[in-house]
Amino acid sequence: MTTVDNLLLKITNTEGILLENKIPSKEARILHSLANSINTHLFITENQSKLLSKILHENSEKLQDFSNEIKEALSDPTWSKPFRHIEEVKKMYISEENSDSLHIVVEFSFNAKTRAILQEVAKKCENLYMESNGKKYVAELTEQNIVVLVDTLTPLNFEISETILSHYNTIKSWSETEIHDKFLITNIEHKNFQKSITDDLGLSTIIDQNIIHDRSIRYQYHLDTPRNIGENLTEYISNRTKTRIYIDKKQHSMTEVVHSLISIKRLPILVVFDTLVSNKYLENLKLLSNALIENGISDKIGVYFRLSNDESGKQFNQFISDNLYNYNLTDDTNVACVASGKLPKFFLKTAWKPMSIIALDSRMGMRHGKTAVYSNCCDLIVEWADEPSVADLKVIKK
């Protein structure tokens, strides 16, 4: 009896390019491709053999010269060689490429069903995204991501690292009520907590509800009092539940934003100009300059990038020079300005750190690139733009 693979070679060698005239062109292309694989030392996989059998069965009547041979070969299929074995990869582990920025990695052989599941579960994860090859997903190393991904991937028989499973078991052993009460601000008595708050705000700062709510993310404590989403911009910012917050520039000016940040002791500020909207560099710099002046900030301001010497670039560079926005980055810098994705190296060599970040017209929501990674050190990132970023942030409501 003729093996199925040898029968395919016989059909393609006989019919050649005429095969497309007898069966659907897509299926003809698949048969030619499978024939090429059979002619190599690698042969075909078991799944490919099933596809081949299916196409031959469905088109046996159209291939009249081979109809009887197809029926006979498929009645008890045999093959001239063992099928090519593909090692199936299903792993979840913590990346070790950069110890300063560990991530969860989900790696798997291409599988449409697995990819669809991960795309759906991404809605429950913090910053889970697919790498370019489509076979690896990366997520931030957080408690929520660990629990969601382990619960999702365990039924799919993924090999999960012992480190992640250890973290998972620890997290699942926690009592939500017990942990919540432990981090109520009224229950925290550790001296380092009190010292950190004092060093941050100073002894003379009047502590109001806005500041108390604002610092809850920074110092990871809970409050008995409910959050007030806001009668005004300052309350809206202070009562955020995530580090990133969108502010509609059509409703609130840059002057209002800077005023709110000052009122909750959020200087120094890092301002990020989006490179995808470079036509607004000068316009935004002027808006920022006016906002700083109106809020009493006129010195210790540094703009740490320049534009090419075309007409608009010269105006931008000259504005920096005229306003002395070339202050070196030191511990007492009030405002630092950079272009997204182009963070100067000296930011990593100084002790200066922003207390807040303003991303101007941010299309990508400060999610990727060197500036985005650096921004993770800050618990308040204001995205000031005409519309929310692609990250689907909530629009501010008055």
pLDDT of residue 134: 65
Does 329 lie in the same domain as 223? yes
DSSP state of 184: B
Final residue before a domain boundary, out of 144, 173, 202:
173
Does 306 lie in the same domain as 164? no
Q: Is 345 left (phi over 0), alpha (psi -120 to 50) or beta?
A: alpha
Mean pLDDT of 341-350: 90
Residue 391 lies in a domain: no
Final residue before a domain boundary, out of 173, 201, 219:
173
Residue 397 lies in a domain: no
pLDDT of residue 367: 59
Residue 80 lies in a domain: no
Does 304 lie in the same domain as 208? yes
Give how many domains the chain has, as a whole number: 3
Does 373 lie in the same domain as 225? yes
Mean pLDDT of 63-85: 92
Q: Tell me which residue range forms the domain holding 319.
A: 191-385
Cα 286 off chain centre by? 31
Q: Tell me the CATH number at 197.
A: 3.40.50
Does 356 lie in the same domain as 217? yes
Residue 82 lies in a domain: no
Does 301 lie in the same domain as 225? yes
Residue 121 lies in a domain: yes
Residue 59 lies in a domain: yes
Looking at the chain, how many residues does it have? 398
Dump pLDDT digits (tens) for 11-21: 998 877 688 88
Q: Which of 26-30, 89-93, 285-289 has the highest mean pLDDT?
A: 285-289
Does 260 lie in the same domain as 157? no
Residue 299 lies in a domain: yes
Does 363 lie in the same domain as 222? yes
pLDDT of residue 263: 95
Does 348 lie in the same domain as 242? yes
Final residue before a domain boundary, out of 111, 138, 173:
173
pLDDT of residue 397: 38
Mean pLDDT of 308-315: 89
pTM assigned to the model: 0.61
CA 220 to each of CA 106, 109, 223, 356: distance values in angstroms, whole numbers, following the listed order: 28, 39, 10, 17
CA 104 to each of CA 117, 122, 135, 267: distance values in angstroms, whole numbers, following the listed order: 17, 13, 14, 33
Does 205 lie in the same domain as 315? yes
Residue 398 lies in a domain: no
Does 110 lie in the same domain as 20? no
Does 376 lie in the same domain as 248? yes
Q: Tell me the CATH number at 95.
A: 3.30.780
